[in-house]
Structure 1
Amino acid sequence: MSKQTDLNGEAVEEMINDQMLVCLNNGYGTRLNIYKNEMSCIDLTLVDKNIASRCEWTVDESTSIGSDHFPITCQIDIGFKIEQGYIPHRWVFKKADWEKYVELCKEIGSLSIDNEQSIDEINGIVSSSILLAASQSIPISQSFKKQINVPWWNDKCSEAIKDRNRAFKLLGRTLTMDNLISYQRKKAIARKVIKEAKRESWRQFCSSIGKETSLNQVWMMIRKMVGKYKPPHIPVLMKDGINAISDIDKANMLNKAFADIHKGSHLEERFKKRKEEVLKANKNVLNQKEQNMSIMDADFSMSELKRALNNTAYSAPGSDNLCYVMFRKLPDNVLENILSLFNKVWNEGNLPTIWKGATILPFPKPGKDATSPGNYRPIALTSHLGKLMGKTHSSEIKLFLRIYQPSKGISNRI
């Protein structure tokens, strides 16, 4: 504790009394004066009197984080129920045993599919067979990275930080001029090493930028350089005086906000009127089907399916947890089952139930208040099987337009 009393301390004490606050400090030092080798309690932790008895206050001397102030940990037991957040299952394709995956798919995919079965049953058989082979050959990661990795960090940075921390601990045990100079030198070296690592990493990235580099990649690199990291957590949402604290309440509030936007209640009257006219004019469009033996009504072929597969890229899977990467590795006998499913869907005009659903991920809009449900942008993760059928149909339409309407340039806009 400090042995001196000054006007600043008296002002803080008066403020504590007026606001009825409690100081959690227990007399343990929070700062080391490296020139006098003395501990001081310059860092104060003030809380409301109603929660002071539930607080546990400690000082962490295991690290200095490059400062002469020690980190302070304050734990408050206020009886809140901590909910386990959503942790997605992520396939680790870099460690996949693709040879084993192909062999398992050949064995499982050899099962014949009865075309008399319903679309949902066939889709379930195809999906479960692929997932069964994937679960035995592709590892799964179920957690987020706890450590924030920046692209410029290297072994030299780690070693410099360790040397600086060792010098600081030695100075805290024995205050000598040599130890003080050594700590100041190691601290300056660590700062210089980190600065040079940042500069070199940024130069390497800038030298790799070309015409094919998207603006999104540049901004992602900038965020990584400064160590920006957004944990998968949505704060308490507030709307019309109602607070959503639990995950279920947050999901319901976001669902209502997204539904209001989809209804078009925010549109101007002229846009609402136009929307109603279009819906009325195309009321029964999904029920219309003409049998004119056109090439566009023909079944999908294996070449069209493989062409669509070649145009797929990695993206997050839907609720069925199937990915394009798995489809590209499938043997022909399993692709035949997928093709049979697509043609059955195409001829009957019905979609599998799971294709109609989506996993909605809310992302906060940059620079907006994250506590307002209207400031979130929904991203829908749908089944890759359903999207693959859409890509197959799209490639067929493009080919048709190139052959029969080459001069209109419509295919490039699909």
Structure 2
Amino acid sequence: MEVLAAAVTGGLVVALGVAVWLALGRRRDRGLGDPSDLATYATLHTASLAAPFLRAGLDADGARSALPHLRALLGDAPVALTDGAGLLAGTDDAPPAVAEPLVTTVLTHGRTEATDDAVVAPLVVEERVVGTLVVHTDQPSAALTRTTTEVARWISGQLELGELSASRTALMEAELRALRAQISPHFIYNSLGAIASFVRTDPERARSLLLEFADFTRYSFRRHGEFTTLAEELRSIERYLTLEKARFGDRLRVTSTVAPEVLHVTLPFLSVQPLVENAVRHGVEPKDGPGSVRVLAHDAGAFCVIEIEDDGVGSDPDVVREALAGRGRGGSVGLANVDERLRSVYGDDHGLVVETAPDLGTKVSLRIPKFAPGVST
């Protein structure tokens, strides 16, 4: 009986061991996914590797870098990319003559064509055929033709995203140049006048203000990067307000409340500074007696909320609407410029919010996502 009990016990242990092994195996299989899941992952991963080279533009260097990944998407067939002028790059086993008559046809008519030894699909950006994807094969099939067409459409999407990104960058740079041209004459004239007033009476202060002016203009006219951090923007604002307080004296009061956790938030360059200048120039300056400007930045979950408020003369809301629409005449400095750049980067939900009325001051608010695709310093 003892022998039998031992045998039964041993059998149970073995059975449990097998059951645990099978359960772990099934769990491991579920974690890795079935063959279909794995194939989907591999395809997406391969596409993600090719995307950066394609978004950089359709040129020889990008084509050479993207081809190994495109080949993997197309079942390891020899592949090549062309632009409107001819071959950009091909895999080592792609025939030197890149089905030139077929490429010419596709460039002309903008649709996929196939022969006994190649499939050629168009690359289209904004309804323009800019090149082709060529797949060489000795076993043409309808499936390969469809696959080549879909991969070419995906490449076209990446090229279009690249062009949009480049266009957005060029537009933002142009808008920044316009903003600098708009704000600099007024500010430079007033700042130099304030500094000059201290040259004889307080030379040390004049020297200090001149250094602040140099640092401010260096930041405002820098040539690299379309984005900055809130901390850098606030440092520039502090220099600006130091210079303006030298001009206004006790007439200008400034308070600033900034949560430390939002200092590293990235935002478009010169998107807060012009709003502070508006508060001083169009709010406090025309006011009789002293005026105050308040700068607030606080954490709001996934967003950073920034508010610029003054107790100045305020404005008619219709005038502000005209300024935001870019139809203002001699109105707020850069208001439409900042609003348009914020919307172009983050979407229409992230434009400026302006609260104002005559003799009741002005409050301008902006809501910046802490993280946004393509936004980095």
Check whether TM > 0.5.
no
The structure richer in helix per residue is 2
Q: TM-score, normalised by structure 1?
A: 0.19
Q: TM-score, normalised by structure 2?
A: 0.20
Relative contact order (C-alpha < 8 Å, sep 6+): which is higher?
Answer: 1
